[in-house]
Structures are given as structure tokens and as C-alpha cells.
Amino acid sequence: MSIELRHFRCFLAIADTLSITRAAERLHLTQPAVSRTLRQLEQALGVRLVDRSTHHLALTPDGLSFRDRAAVAVAAFDRALGYAHHTGWPLRLGHAWAGAGTDTTALLRRWHEEHPATPLELLRIDDRTAGLARGEVDAALLRGEVLAPGLITERLTTEPRVAGLPADDPLAHRTALSLADLADRTIAVNTVSGITSLDLWPPSARPASTITIGNTDDWLAAITGGRAVGVTTSATADMHPHPAMAYVPLTDAPPVPVVIAWRDGPGHPRIPDLIRLAHEVMGHHQGRP
């Protein structure tokens, strides 16, 4: 049996919903049809993608690995159809937060001036790879260590870490802070796309309390609302000023690398031009690695 695009779409609907019923509703198919299509895909691949042994469906390790590959394939197909009749092929640049920091406007304007026939779309996607691993973007500006397989990265610059505090916090008026100053506070931790974890603190002085959030907006709300404090980079302070927020430099937290990432394989033909321009615009802070 040959694998068709419908098999990929069916599997991705199941992977997203973890339910045959909800996947069938999304695809406007019957539940038996969805189950049959999944079974055909598994037989063709020779692996089990979904664990059906419990009341709740779960992806197997093979299913988790195949999900990203299937998403990239479907995204590429849909994009090829969508732009088949367009002369301009947009280049999608993802970011999870803060874009290119203070260089965001310069990067976008320089691109428009130098490559007017290829629109550059800056897309915020709340994901550790900003949608790159799933094929939602062509390249991404990412912060911190990038461990996703199949991605290539080049370092552009580094950003110092800062503490995020409510503006009326007693520490907000200090000129600098240390991690120890935050050890007795509740820390807002972005587990979806953030780079801060309790491992940033020494084992003997880690904060005892955290709250989990999933994006920059919720991070800001948790801090300005007085529920927590946070740690981020100077780009957040530059891109998200807020009257109820204070950003204070941290003296003992290591700086954060900023990288441009793209998939290892065929991609948008303008990716090399984007990499070059990103180095020119953002690399002025430090030498190219």
C-alpha cells in the first residue's frame, strides 16, 4: 500500500487530539475510517505510532518521532499549493519571544530593502523551536541551547540576563541583583518556550516555589500582578516595557546565546541570505563566531 497525504493528516489529527473521536470530528470522517487509516499507515511504515492499550491514547516513541516529520511534510505540501500562483515566496522567520531584540526593526527593513520580491514574515510561535521543527517556519531566532534533532544553528550574539520584578517591589530600584536575591521568591517559569529553570541557581540556594506559565504575555501578567518574579534576557526588557514592570541586571547569571536556526535539508532558497543579514544586523554586538 502506498502512503498518501491523507494518512499524514489523519495521524497528525490523532497526535494533536489524542482521541480517535475528536480526530474524526476534525477531519469530518467516521471513527472507523480514522482507525482504518491509522492502521494502514502503521502497517506501511512497519512501526506502531499510537498506543491504544489504555483508556487514553498516547503516542509511542516512534509516533513522537514521526509526528514532526509528518508535520513538516504536510506543511511543505500545503505551502507549495498555497503559493503555486504567487510570484513572491514569503520567507517565514519564527521566534518564541523578543524577535531580534532591538535589532528587529533594522532586520525587517534591511530585508525589505535588499529583497523586495521576497516578503519576510516574522511569526511568534510559542514553542521551543518557534515552529521550526514542525515545519511552520523556514528559519527561527532562538535563545539558549537548541537540542532539537535535524536543526542547524549559528550563533549571532549573546544577551545578558535580567530579573523581572513588579515595579513596586523593594528590589526594583536596585542597580543590580544576584540570583541569591531572588532565592526566597516565587519564580515564573515558562516551560513551553522559556530558557529559565531552577538549574540556573546553585543546588544549595534554589528557589523553593515556582509557577508555570506558557508564553511571554502570561509571564508578564504573573509578575506585574505580584504573583512572582522572573529571569529573562535584556531583549525582553527592550521589547516588552511595561509601567508596572522593572528589569534589573543580574550580575552572576551567564549570558544567553541567540542563534539563527534552520532545518538540515531542502528549504527556502533565501535562507542563506537571511543568515548573512542576521549576522550583519545582530552581530555588530560581537564578532561572528
Strand pairing category for 151-159 and 256-263: antiparallel
For residue 154, list its beta bridge partners.
260
Query: Residue 170: which pLDDT band, with cuts at 50, 70 and 90?
Result: very high
- What count of other Cβ atoms lies within 10 Å of the Cβ of residue 104? 19
Are the C-beta atoms of residues 106 and 114 closer than 8 Å to each other?
A: no
Cβ-based neighbour number of residue 254 at 10 Å: 10
Give the DSSP H or E segment for 50: strand 50-51
> For 2, what's the count of Cα atoms within 13 Å in the CB-facing half-sphere?
2
When pLDDT is averaged across residues 110-121 and rounded to a whole number, the result is 93
CA distance 255 to 155: 13
| Region 8-36 average pLDDT | 90
Q: Which residues of 13-22 are buried (b: 16+ CB within 10 A; e: fewer)?
A: bbbeeebbeb
Q: DSSP strand E in 176-255: where?
A: 186-190, 209-213, 230-233, 245-249
Per-residue confidence (pLDDT) for residue 287, from 0 to 100: 41
Q: Is the dihedral of CA 242, 244, 249, 254 positive or negative?
A: negative
Per-residue pLDDT band at 285 (split at 50, 70, 90):
low
pLDDT tens readout for residues 206-215: 998 999 999 9
Domains of the chain by start residue, with CATH:
3-81 (1.10.10.10), 89-156+254-282 (3.40.190.10), 160-247 (3.40.190.10)
What is the average pLDDT across 143-172? 94
Per mean pLDDT, which range of 34-38, 95-99, 266-270, 282-286 is the poorest? 282-286
